[in-house]
């Protein structure tokens, strides 16, 4: 999988897990472990994570509302 799409997928899953944490009852142990592992995997893609976060910022949208096309469009506009 391409780093940009992988980073977007991982960041969207992270947002989903973090939202669950804020719900009554929170998350289970295995979801907490998944969140920890997910953050470790994101460290492999620092440039792609930066591009996704930049796109979210410029488009004024949360990461979980972005598509790969959104990220690529913003990235092309920067370069």
Q: Render each residue's pLDDT in the chain as its tens digit; 79 residues.
A: 599 999 999 999 999 988 888 877 766 888 889 999 999 999 999 999 999 999 999 999 999 999 999 999 998 887 5
The residues near 78 (Cβ < 8 Å, ≥ 6 apart) are 54
Q: What is the pLDDT of residue 50?
A: 96
Q: Which residue has the tokens 């947002």?
A: 15
The residues near 12 (Cβ < 8 Å, ≥ 6 apart) are 63, 64, 66
Q: What is the pLDDT of residue 38?
A: 96
Q: What is the pLDDT of residue 78?
A: 72
- CB–CB of 56/62 below 8 Å? yes
Helix, coil or strand: residue 63: helix
Q: How many domains does the chain have?
A: 1
Q: Which domain holds residue 16?
A: 3-78
pTM (2 d.p.): 0.87
Q: What is the pLDDT of residue 79?
A: 58
């Amino acid at each position: 999988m391409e780093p940009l799409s992988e980073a977007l997928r991982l960041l969207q899953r992270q947002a989903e897990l973090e939202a669950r944490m804020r719900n009554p009852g929170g998350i289970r142990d295995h979801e907490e472990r998944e969140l920890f592992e997910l953050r470790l995997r994101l460290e492999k893609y620092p440039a792609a994570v930066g591009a996704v976060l930049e796109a979210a910022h410029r488009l004024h949208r949360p990461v979980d509302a972005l598509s790969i096309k959104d990220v690529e469009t913003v990235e092309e506009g920067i370069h």
